[in-house]
Chains A and B, each alone.
Chain A
Amino acid sequence: DTEVTQTPKHLVMGMTNKKSLKCEQHMGHRAMYWYKQKAKKPPELMFVYSYEKLSINESVPSRFSPECPNSSLLNLHLHALQPEDSALYLCASSQEDSYNSPLHFGNGTRLTVT
């Protein structure tokens, strides 16, 4: 069982829908990440939150909106997505955003945009 829980596991949404991906960890980690992975490609970093503050935004379009309500939760709000946004969205956490903090990944949300 993964210690980083992502819900839902699968999501199908239309281009006009608004949906949210959720991520939760109870390991006391202070850094949380969103990654996007297309088929047969490595995961690409989207956002990094450190101590509940957004520290890195890798030039992600505004139709993806992250939110960190508290140190255990990380959301990714989706609005007006495009079919090319269909991918596996991975959440990760680490003890702190520094050296030798291994990443713990969730199992991802498989998103399909129709």
Chain B
Amino acid sequence: DQQVKQNSPSLSVQEGRISILNCDYTNSMFDYFLWYKKYPAEGPTFLISISSIKDKNEDGRFTVFLNKSAKHLSLHIVPSQPGDSAVYFCAAQLMYSGGGADGLTFGKGTHLIIQP
């Protein structure tokens, strides 16, 4: 059973508009959430994260929103640029108080295509 779900395999957005990528999770014990971006032939690279004690984290054009009651998070990219075309993975992690953590649980990814 998938604990992290990205229900949209692909998303097409016009350049300059807002891209919204969604992610749902089922394990209420997750307390750290991350978004990774992946280009072909490259390893996934970290984009932005959010701890469960927050509901929003912003970094430049990227904002992640967390709705714990709905077990839902989303990544907003505004304005969208051609270089944003990539696969975006949502990931969740259970952090231990001692600083350790379980491995990441990833969604299957959403392929974002930015159209000129």
Return chain B residues, CB-CB under 8 Å to A92: 104
Return chain A residues, CB-CB under 8 Å to B116: none
What's the least CB distance linking B106 to chain A, in Å? 5
Which residues of B are in contact with A by a Cβ distance under 8 Å? 9, 32, 34, 36, 38, 40-46, 49, 51, 87, 89, 95, 99-109, 111
Return chain B residues, CB-CB under 8 Å to A55: 41
Alpha-carbon distance between A48 and B34 when the two chains are bound, in angstroms: 20
Closest 10 CB pairs of A and B: A39-B99, A105-B103, A48-B43, A107-B103, A42-B46, A102-B108, A45-B43, A105-B104, A103-B106, A42-B49
Return chain A residues, CB-CB under 8 Å to B42: 48, 56, 97
Smallest CB-CB separation from B42: which chain A residue? A56
Alpha-carbon distance between A4 and B104 when the two chains are bound, in angstroms: 12
With beta carbons under 8 angstroms apart, the residue of B36, B51, B102, B111 that contacts A100 is B111
25 contacts between A and B (CB under 8 A): A2-B103, A33-B43, A39-B99, A39-B100, A39-B101, A40-B32, A40-B95, A43-B104, A45-B44, A45-B45, A88-B100, A97-B40, A98-B40, A99-B87, A100-B9, A100-B87, A100-B111, A101-B109, A102-B89, A102-B106, A102-B107, A103-B89, A105-B103, A105-B104, A106-B103
With beta carbons under 8 angstroms apart, the residue of B34, B41, B103 that contacts A42 is B34
* A25 within 8 Å of B (CB atoms): no
Q: Enumerate A9-67 residues with CB–CB distance to B below 8 Å.
A: 33, 37, 39-40, 42-45, 48, 50, 55-56, 58
Smallest CB-CB separation from B40: which chain A residue? A98
Q: A75-114 CB contact bits vs B (8 Å, 1 = yes)? A: 0000000000000101010000111111111111010000
Smallest CB-CB separation from B36: which chain A residue? A103
Q: Is the CB of A100 within 8 A of B109?
A: yes
Alpha-carbon distance between A106 and B105 when the two chains are bound, in angstroms: 9
What's the least CB distance linking A1 to chain B, in Å? 12
Return chain B residues, CB-CB under 8 Å to A44: 46
Q: Is the CB of A108 within 8 A of B103?
A: yes
Return chain B residues, CB-CB under 8 Å to A56: 42-43
Alpha-carbon distance between A74 and B81 when the two chains are bound, in angstroms: 36
Known: A105-B103, A106-B103. A99 touches B111 (CB 8 A): yes
